[in-house]
Structure 1
Amino acid sequence: MDIEQRKLWNENHKKLTSIIYKPTEHENAIELFLNQHALLYASKIENSQVMTLEDELLNNMTDETFRKYPVVSPDTRNSIVWQIWHISRIEDMTMNVLVGNQDQVFFSGDWVKKLNINCTHTGNEMTENEVAELSANIDINALLSYRLEVGRATRTIVKSLQPGQFKQKVESVRIEKLLDQGAVKKEATWLLDYWGKKDTGGLILMPATRHNFLHLNKSIRIKNKIQK
């Protein structure tokens, strides 16, 4: 995605924000979301020929660059694999549990074993040693496969939403489920409080779209700086 494509993505996100709560625009909102969301994943999520933001990130990416920690960046020290882990876990939790009221992809697919990690949380408030360990040990191919499965699950959930459901508030019992599952570290329970104040539309406008966009752009900046 070049600068103009990024500008268009941002313009379309503003459009999505303006129509998502209007029942008469329900089908248009879903279609626009699906287009926006697909541009944040590898193009094979929709078998598209369009270069996506994730395609740009992964193109010519080295394993060393993927895992490098800490990185020299004005807005993060965390590795690119941490960025991908973080956005994938948050989308999995918010879309599957809080919106879809179903199991996380992470647990239904036994991903903790495939990923070669020992944590289940979002990555918020990790110590430097914890980030270093995750960056060094996580299975990158498994991470990208997990992310793809999360994206596909999100798309299925959003397609199933009915007019008016974007205004549906997050149920406290679903927040409690995430807490019981170790979704966040004890130092990061503020994130559950934040999600608990959201509705379905709010979760779609941030974790499922804008949050991905921000971290993928951050990751591309890191990659470009390391591999210049």
Structure 2
Amino acid sequence: MNKEWSEKIKRIQVLLDKETTYKDAIELLIEFRKEMFEQISQIVNGYPAKAFYQMPFANTEGYHSKTLAYSIWHIFRIEDIVAHSLIAGDEQILMTGDYQKKIGSPIITTGNELQGQEIAEFSKKLNIKYLYEYAREVMLSTNSILLNLEYSQMKTRYSVEDKDKLASIGCVSPNENAIWLIDYWCNKDIRGLIKMPFSRHWSMHIEAMKRIKNKLCKNVRKGVDPVAYCGLSCNHCFLGEWCGSCRTEYNVCSFATIYEDRRCPNMVCCMDKKIDGCYECSDLENCTKGFYMPDNDGAASAKAQAMFIRKYGKKAFLKTHDKLHERYDFSKTQEILGQDVYEGFKLLEKEYSN
């Protein structure tokens, strides 16, 4: 598990155990859930539909052997069931929002009963837009429940009747891989449920989703030109583990994700002009499109790199980037090349000639 996330979970668990720090724990937990959910948002907003039913780690052990779509469904079905049917005692978001129909899911269970190819086939059927909408609504409703809980309720436990109720509504499959969940949940008090389904369970599955998307990006980038249309090096980008590059469908560049088709203005312009990249354009120095927008912090460094490619070529550019990363510790090129196009260009030339 992510070390930083693990430490946050430990901190939340400690704070939950004392009445004087209980409210602090809830506030910290909600903030942490927001941070983790952002990872899901980036995946949903950045990747093509086919990414959500692929299984790059099929036939292996662990949560990463699933799909992105299954992971989202599983996390939030469990939370919806526990938060509403068990803790709040009201109707689940899946039902109140008519989400089973919207999502196109053939099941209302947690999905624990699905194995191997069944997971991929299930994932293909899901409407990711509505699945994401459902996940977000479940998260927000659970946050509201958490904020309204009192410390005196933390030791609330559940009965045989509660177990029977969960079994009767059909949200947990009777399959041996799933039915144990009812006992697991009902044998915990509310504090125990907060510690697992609402926090640690999230972190384990979202970590697995990160492994899945990293592998998908790595696979799709094989043999693909690592130089972006604007002149950035995808091999050296701080988004490297997230992004498949703007030359693939897995494009999560900041200037791509704000457009529905995930095509930034630089890409569109280059395609319209039938050129390989901005470095082949005669209007490069004066361009203010996309990544070169004046208010973009990385505009000057990107343009400097495109100018370098135009003069020395991609091979020299990538080697120069390798040398820069050996010499300096940085994630974004503007941290080294600065905010002046020509000074940045000179720095690249100097590094190239050394």
Q: Same fold (TM over 0.5)?
A: yes
Greater helix share, structure number: 1
Structure 1 partner of 2:94: 106
The answer on 1:215 being equivalent to 2:205 is yes
Q: Distance in 2 between matches of 1:38 and 1:152?
A: 10
Quick one: distance in 2 between partners of 1:55 and 1:111? 18
Letter in 1 for 2:136: L
Residue 193 of structure 1 corresponds to which residue in structure 2?
A: 183
Whole-angstrom CA distance in 1 between matches of 2:68 and 2:114: 15
Asked whether 1:159 is paired with 2:116, we answer: no
2:56/2:216 contact within 8 Å kept: no
Q: What is the aligned counterpart of 1:226 among 205, 210, 216?
A: 216
Worse-matched range after superposition: 101-110 or 141-150:
101-110
- What is the alpha-carbon distance in structure 2 between the residues aligned to residue 74 and residue 62 of structure 1? 26
| Corresponding residue for residue 34 of structure 1 | 30
> Is 2:196 the partner of 1:206?
yes
Identify the residue that residue 171 of structure 2 maps to in structure 1.
183
Q: For residues 155-201 of structure 1, give each alpha carbon's deviation from its aligned partner in whole angstroms, at most 9, with x where no partner exists.
A: 11001001221221134433322211111111121111111111111
Out of 36, 54, 68, which is 1:68 matched to?
54
Which one of the candidate residues 159, 162, 165 is aligned to 1:174?
162
In the alignment, is the contact (CA less than 8 A) between 2:55 and 2:212 conserved in 1? Answer: no
Whether the 8 Å contact between 1:86 and 1:123 is mirrored in structure 2 is yes
Give the Cα separation in 1 of the matches to 2:105 and 2:32. 30
Match of 2:271 in 1: none
Aligned to 1:119: 107
Distance, in Å, in 2 between the alignment partners of 1:217 and 1:70 is 15
| Alignment-derived partner of residue 82 in structure 2 | 94
Which structure is higher in RCO with an 8 Å CA cutoff and minimum separation 6? Answer: 1
8 A contact 1:21–1:167 mirrored in 2? no
The residue identity in structure 1 corresponding to 2:68 is I
The superposition leaves residues 38-73 of structure 1 with CA deviations (integer Å, 9 ceiling, x where unpaired) of 1122xxxxxxxxxx3324433532211111146445
For the structure 1 residues 11 and 226, does the alpha-carbon distance in structure 2 shift closer, same or farther, using more than 3 Å as the test?
same
Deviates more, 1:117-126 or 1:31-40: 31-40
Q: Alignment partner for residue 24 of structure 1, among 16, 20, 34?
A: 20
Question: Structure 1's 59 and 114: CA in aligned 2 closer, same or farther, altered over 3 A?
Answer: closer
1:82 aligned partner: 70
Q: Which one is further off, 146-155 or 163-172? A: 163-172
Distance in 2 (CA, whole Å) between partners of 1:133 and 1:173 is: 35
Q: RMSD between aligned alpha carbons?
A: 1.9
- Counterpart-to-counterpart distance in 2, 1:136 and 1:15: 38
Secondary structure of 2:36's partner? Answer: coil
Instruction: Sort the Cα spacing of 1:144 and 1:150 in 2 relative to 1 into closer, same or farther, 3 A.
Output: same
Regions of 4+ moved over 4 Å: none
Contact 1:105-1:149 within 8 A present in 2 as well: yes
Query: How far apart in 2 are the matches of 1:130 and 1:81?
Result: 13
Tell me the SS of whatever aligns to 2:21.
Answer: helix
**Paired AA for residue 114 in structure 1:** K
Gaps of 5+ in 1: 42-51
Q: 1:70 & 1:130 partners in 2: Cα distance?
A: 15
Q: Give CA-to-partner distance per residue, 1:92-123, whole Å, 9 cap, x none.
A: 11111211111111111111111112211000
Aligned position for 1:46: none
User: Helix, strand or coil for the counterpart of 1:33?
Assistant: helix
**TM-score, structure 2 length as denominator?**
0.57
Aligned residues: 214
Deviation readout 1:103-158 (Å, 9 max, x if unpaired): 11111111111111221100002144532331111111010000001001101100
Verify: 1:8 aligned to 2:20, yes or no.
Answer: no
Q: Percent sequence identity over matched residues?
A: 33
